[in-house]
Amino acid sequence: MLTINQISELNWKKVNQLIPIIVQDISSNEILMHGYVNQESLLITLKKKKITFFSRTKNRLWTKGETSKNYLKVINIIPDCDKDSLLALVQPIGNTCHLNNKSCFQNKKNINISFILELERILKNYKNNNNNTSYTSNLYKKGINKISQKIGEEAVELVIAAVNQDKKNVFEECADLMYHILVLFSYIDIKFIDLIKVLKKRNT
């Protein structure tokens, strides 16, 4: 983690006392946006743990989320080898892009964990919306026993598809099983990223 005392050690001369900073979601590794900091905005970023840029168009300091409340909570800031650019690892609150997209860089062909995280957000909305009459909302209303039952049913259907070596059905049944597992996670307040941490720990 870059410290306040290390701010002066960065190379501020290259880009007129500004340093580019790339913002990355620490959970999904998705690149969210790019901006610039000066020494004052970087100091505020480190103190408040919220990304604060120097806006070249507005010619002032600008905390991301100051209007939308979609802040970028700083987990770590890492200088590159030349100390003339920065990587900020963050936990985004809401969508980052002003067009209401998760990232300013849209790459819909790239399938990664960010899709699962977005699905988690959608499921949370279903969970909290008692007026919704969708399948998923009704599943939440029926509680943990029904959700667990559905996981058992989908697991059996996946096993049958696998035994029959039916690849298409394996994908379909696995997707059904994964979906209901995410519903279960949401119901008992477990994050998918915590599952990833367990798998990584087992791989060490």
Mean pLDDT by 10 residues, the chain (204 residues): 95 94 90 97 98 95 96 97 97 93 77 77 89 91 96 97 96 96 95 87 79
| Contacts of residue 171, Cβ cutoff 8 Å, sequence gap at least 6 | none
Q: What is the pLDDT of residue 108?
A: 61
Q: Strand, helix or coil at 50?
A: strand
Q: What is the pLDDT of residue 3?
A: 95
Q: How many domains does the chain have?
A: 2
Q: What is the pLDDT of residue 112?
A: 61
Same domain, 87 and 16: yes
- Kind and range of the H or E element at 35? strand 31-37
CATH code, domain with 165: 1.10.287.1080
Residue 50, domain member (yes or no): yes
Q: Are 54 and 62 in contact (CB under 8 A)?
A: yes
What range defines the domain where residue 173 resides?
Answer: 113-202
- Nearest CA among 72, 12, 24, 13 for reference residue 44: 72
Q: Strand, helix or coil at 178?
A: helix
In this prediction the pTM is 0.65
Same domain, 82 and 123: no
Residue 81, domain member (yes or no): yes
CATH code, domain with 25: 3.10.20.810
